[in-house]
Amino acid sequence: MQETRFGEFGGVYAPETLMAPLEELEQAWRELREDPSFEADLHSLLHDYAGRPTPLTRAEQLSAELGCELWLKREDLLHTGAHKLNNALGQCLLAKSMGKARILAETGAGQHGVATATACAKLGLECVVYMGEVDVVRQRPNVLRMELMGARVEVVKNGQRTLKDAINEAMRAWVSDPEAHYVLGSALGPHPFPSIVADFHHVIGRESREQILAQAGGLPDLAVACVGGGSNAIGLFRGFLDDDSVALVGVEAGGEGLETGRHAARFSGGSPGVLHGCFTWLLQNYDGQIEHTHSVSAGLDYPAVGPEHAALQAAGRASYEYATDEEALAAFSALSEREGILPALESSHAVGWIMRECEELRGMRIVVNLSGRGDKDLSTIMATRGGSAVDSVQGSEVMS
């Protein structure tokens, strides 16, 4: 294998059975990324099917209120409602080119599962998605969407029954069926996954850079994105890595607050170690056991961060902050009411951090990746508030 690390982070900590499939994947990726016909096929899928480029929208009212110039990269408008489709289409096309017929995937918030189910339906591949039981409940609409597109959803009842456990189970499934392709959904796992996933999401940053130059007439001061595994953030960051004047900020899930221990802020509350195939920052106890995490958003509820983020942090190129559940919910309301956009709870963390730090950020031009839309989160949101008209109506009586 070629370079498997970002600085000291990353690597290939995988069972021997998976080493051959990982080598094969790396080889195929190195060939196909230079292949004009693969690039043309992917471009066509992203452009004519998925709806790229996504717009960059100036958040007028919120900018005025916060005293900054806030621009939203609208990955919520991508087909299926989140950035995840960039990678799912790319990897499924890659898998198909490698002659694979069967796709395995994990999902937390369900967006990667939906994206993979979508790509598989479009490309004629069999799809099995592993999803934790807790996430199945809180992201119910996404389970139904996956099933409607012909994917089989395997409910994972081990451990914390969230994203981490879904990845464990998907990796076990892959060890059992190394002929399948595992579409890892975030910029983590063993090499070459972090690089492949980042490559497929680079389009977010490339477009954002062009759009902000065209629409605002200059580069932003700040590029901000939420960080679970870190795929949407690395996609945005890659567009600005060489622009030293652009500060990069990743926002992790602060959950109920770092002091409560119920969070997923790896850089603030963790230490380096090995999980799911890579060496990176993670939440672990004194003995190397992985700690439970908490976040109101299923997509950020994960104990490790992608290794490229760990390297960007170590190099001082990006900084990593956090927003709490409460701050994310406040951002959700603000975007809904002032901009007419229901954001995913994951993306709401990025905006929540900006809202909290608005004094410090006054006058700055900020691009924030609105990585997904919030329809999937309605039941979580509604549980935190009341007073909807639907509560007063008995559906069965009206319809009968």
Partner 1 sequence: MSLNRMEAVTRSLRAEGRRGLSPYVTAGDGGMGRTLQLLHALERAGAHCCELGVPFSDPIADGPVLQAAADRALAAGTDVDGIFSMVRRFREEGGNLPIAMMSYCNPLGRRGWPEACAEAADVGVDALILPDLPVEEGGPVRAAADAVNLCTIFFAAPTSSEERIRRAVEASRGFLYVVGRTGVTGVGTTFDDSAQSFLQRVSELAIDLPVAVGFGISSAADVSAAKTHADIVIVGTALVRHINKAGAEDSAAVAAAESFVRDLMTGLGSPNIS
Residues at the site binding partner 1, with contacts judged by CB under 8 A: 1, 4, 11-21, 158-159, 164-165, 168, 171-172, 175-178, 273-277, 284, 286-290
What is the rounded CA–CA span in Å between residue 374 and residue 393?
Answer: 24
Residue with tokens 């983020």: 309
60 tagged catalytic:
no
Residue number, 172 or 317, with CB nearest to partner 1: 172
Least distance (Å) from partner 1 to the CB of residue 171?
4
Residue number, 106 or 199, with CB nearest to partner 1: 106
207 tagged catalytic:
no
371 tagged catalytic:
yes
Catalytic one of 73, 84, 96, 122: 84
Least distance (Å) from partner 1 to the CB of residue 367?
35
Gyration radius of the chain's alpha carbons: 20
Least distance (Å) from partner 1 to the CB of residue 20?
4
Contact 308, 279 (CB under 8 A): no
Residue number, 19 or 314, with CB nearest to partner 1: 19
Q: CA angle at residue 295 from 376 to 357, to 5 degrees? A: 100
Residue number, 232 or 280, with CB nearest to partner 1: 280
Which ranges of the chain would DSSP assign to H, the alpha helix?
Answer: 16-32, 36-44, 60-66, 84-97, 111-123, 133-138, 140-148, 163-176, 193-216, 231-238, 266-269, 307-314, 325-339, 345-356, 378-384, 395-399
Which ranges of 217-339 would DSSP assign to H, the alpha helix?
Answer: 231-238, 266-269, 307-314, 325-339
Q: Which residues of 301-318 are buried (b: 16+ CB within 10 A; e: fewer)?
A: bbbbbbbbbbbbbeeeeb
Residue number, 228 or 277, with CB nearest to partner 1: 277
Least distance (Å) from partner 1 to the CB of residue 96?
21
Contact 224, 368 (CB under 8 A): yes
Least distance (Å) from partner 1 to the CB of residue 296?
23
Catalytic one of 26, 75, 106, 308: 106
Q: Which residues are catalytic?
A: 84, 106, 371
